[in-house]
Amino acid sequence: MQQEQISLMLLKIIINVAIYSIPVLPAFLAIILAPRQQILADQDGLFCYLGPRATYIPWHEARLFSVIAEEKGILIYELASEISLIRWSSTLIRDNFPFATMGSTPFRLAQADPSLEEYEQLIRLLTVLVADRTGLPLADLRYEETLTSAAAHMVS
């Protein structure tokens, strides 16, 4: 008799949890499965969230801060440690995975999907912040990439 009551109580709990989680589930899945990344800078390092995956680079572990590519006037930045890297673009790209960045949030200031002007200003601030916190200069690797691809075409 007591086991039946416990089973009935557990069934009620499961049903209640299912009923109350149904409205929340789409929002949760949208955040977890979002194809746009979020960048968060704080006093200890740089975080990048892309769907369920998170990357963290402490400032003191950063080894390279660079511009790695440019296409149609859009710069692609990269911060790399020995084991991780985080990339982001100089302008808001809403539909170009994997560089579509939803928001940049220096020092945990909440920033939802910003306007183009707000995003570009945040990225300028982020580049200054990364250079300051890491002590690394912003290296321009676009020229080396051009030379490498030109040499590859000459060989083939």
- The CA R_g of the chain, rounded to the nearest whole Å, is 22
- Domain regions of the chain by residue span: 1-33, 37-155
pTM listed for this prediction: 0.62
- Digit-coded pLDDT (tens) for 105-149: 444 444 445 677 888 888 899 999 999 999 999 999 987 554 455
Residue 105 neighbours by CB distance under 10 Å: 19
Q: Per-residue pLDDT for the chain (156 aa), expressed as one digit of tens each?
A: 677 777 778 878 888 777 777 776 666 665 556 556 788 889 999 998 876 778 999 999 999 999 998 888 888 899 999 999 999 888 876 554 444 444 444 444 444 456 778 888 888 999 999 999 999 999 999 875 544 554 444 454
Shortest CA distance to 122 belongs to which of 101, 137, 97? 101
- Biggest CA–CA distance in the chain, Å, is 83
> 37-155: which CATH number, 2.160.20, 2.60.40, 1.10.357, 2.30.29?
2.30.29
